[in-house]
Amino acid sequence: MIKGNQGKVIVLAFKFKLILAMLSFTRFDLRTLDANGPEDEEGIRRATELVHSMIEQEVKAGIPSNRIVIGGFSQGGALALYSALMYSKPLAGVVALSCWLPLHKNFPAAALGNTDIPYLQCHGDCDPIVPYKWGQLTASMMKQFLKQAEFKTYRGMMHSSSDE
Q: Phi, psi at residue 38, to the nearest 5°?
A: -70, 145
Is the peptide bond between 108 and the residue preceding it cis, with omega within 30 degrees of 0? yes
Name every residue whose Cβ is closer than 8 Å to that of residue 45 and which is 6 or more positions away in sequence. Answer: none
Cross-strand pairs, 151: 121
For the chain, how many helices (H) and strands (E)?
3, 6
Active site residue 123: no
Selecting among 65, 104, 123, 127, the annotated active-site residue is 127
74 is catalytic: yes
Q: Which candidate in 74, 83, 160, 161 is catalytic?
A: 74
Residues 110, 85 contacting (CB under 8 angstroms) = yes
φ, ψ of residue 66 to 5 degrees: the values are -75, 10
| 40 is an active site residue | no
Kindly name the residue from 83, 104, 123, 159 that is annotated as catalytic.
159
Name the residues annotated as catalytic: 74, 127, 159
